[in-house]
Structure 1
Amino acid sequence: MQKNFLVISALGEDRPGLVNELSQLISETGCSIEDSRMTVLGGDFAIVMLVEGRWNELAKLEAGLPSAGRRLGLAVQARRTHPGAPAANLLPYSVEVVSVDHPGIVHQLANFFASREINIRDLTTSTYAAAHTGTPMFQVQMTIDVSAALHIARLREEFMDLCDQLNLDAIIEPLRQ
């Protein structure tokens, strides 16, 4: 039996109870959260989630989202989706980069992988102050899908060369699952 999915994204001013109220709405329609990312960015709460359910349960959830969004003070969008295709001949790799914060780091990394037709499956960034000096630091963590046909030693060498040129500390290694 094929599963039915709905991707929901919501953004609004952060306050306690938002996750509770959203998850309650999903649960009450008979749907379940398959995957999600929830975080506070600045003073706003942001969420992206993949919800699974029977087609009629998803329809009920879709119909209730606009009023729930207004009640919760969230800008909500939803879109039907399908199960992702299995990653045939793709190997997941973990990439971690740390550097002194400066503009363009994500773009330079994304450009490197895009130019090699490597998909970035997941990407998280954060900033923090370095211990002792307080220097603004930037951290990127990502999961990429590398074709099994790609010469990984060459990819690793080219990636590390780029990171050396940009003064980035980096690690690229198989994802431990």
Structure 2
Amino acid sequence: MTTHAPTTAYVLTAIGEDRPGLVAALAAAVDEHGGNWVDSQLALLAGKFAGIVQVELPDERAQSFLEALPALADEVGLEVEATVAGDPGEVAPHSALHLHLLGQDRTGMVREVASALRSQGATIDGLRSWTREAPEGGGMLFEAEAEVRLPADADQDGVREALETIAAELMVDLELDTTE
């Protein structure tokens, strides 16, 4: 029977000026300390590289890993912060929706949609948004996609109605699909 050394899960947040080698440097630091890269979301926004990474590290190597992280700022310009990951616990029964929104860009759109979702007990598990030029000089468009988790007892029609009300107020197109 093989026994594994105890490990601790960490969530790393990283940000730096975009340049080649940032992910490689972070991955090397994880690997050099016996860690495992578990999950990540990485993006380039306005010339900045930003990422969230979940890693697992052997407990006996975790402190040296944490002490090595500040060197990444000097070596490659990547600021990294680490926090111990929360206990995912048991996921309560739920349903999921995929939301897609498109309309003329204006301030407050994310706040309005997020508030409508919160009022229905929904949680945003993932959100990606961007702006782009509208065809034929029509100004800027705002587009967003979100993965939304609803409690098992949530009224999907109520959620849909709350979002459609916001969509009408914001004058945006809104699509909602049930995901399984």
Report if TM-score (shorter chain) is over 0.5: yes
1:56 alignment partner, SS class? helix
Match of 2:55 in 1: 51
Task: Give the whole-Å Cα distance in 2 for the aligned partners of 1:65 and 1:161.
Answer: 46
| 2:151 aligned with 1:147 | yes
Structure 2 counterparts to residues 1-177 of structure 1, below 5 A? 4-133=8-137, 135-176=139-180
Q: Report the 3-state secondary structure (helix = DSSP H, G, I; strand = E; otherwise coil) of the residue aligned with 1:103.
A: coil
Count of aligned residue pairs for this structure pair: 176
Secondary structure class of the residue paired with 2:131: strand
Conserved? CA contact 1:4–1:82, under 8 Å: no
Give me the whole-angstrom Cα distance separating, in 2, the residues matched to 1:81 and 1:98.
34
Contact 2:36/2:56 (8 A) holds in 1: yes
- Per the normalisation by structure 1, the TM-score is 0.90
Deviation at 1:17, TM superposition (A): 1.3
Which one is further off, 34-43 or 83-92?
83-92
From the superposition, tell whether residues 59 and 129 of structure 1 become closer, same or farther in structure 2 (CA, over 3 Å): same
Residue 46 of structure 1 aligns to a residue in which SS? strand
RMSD: 1.9
Structure 2 stretches lacking a partner, 5+ long: none
Structure 1 residues 16-52: Cα deviation after superposition (integer angstroms, max 9, x where no partner): 1111111111122111221111111112111111112
| SS across alignment from 1:47 | strand
Aligned-partner Cα distance in 1 for 2:148–2:25: 33
What is the alpha-carbon distance in structure 2 between the residues aligned to residue 107 and residue 60 of structure 1?
A: 40
Distance 2:67 2:47 in 1: 28
The amino acid that maps onto 1:136 is M
User: Counterpart amino acid of 2:34?
Assistant: G
Tell me the distance in 2 between the aligned counterparts of 1:164 and 1:3.
49
* Identical-pair percentage: 25
For 1:153, the aligned partner's letter is D
Superposed displacement of residue 86, structure 1: 2.9
Structure 1 position 134, deviation (Å):
5.4
**In the aligned structure 2, how far is the partner of 1:56 from the partner of 1:99?**
51
8 Å contact 1:99–1:138 — kept in the other structure?
A: yes
Pairwise CA distance, 1:133: 3.4
User: Which secondary structure does the structure 2 equivalent of 1:92 belong to?
Assistant: strand
Stretches (4+) displaced over 3 A: 131-134
Change (3 A) 1:142 1:79: same
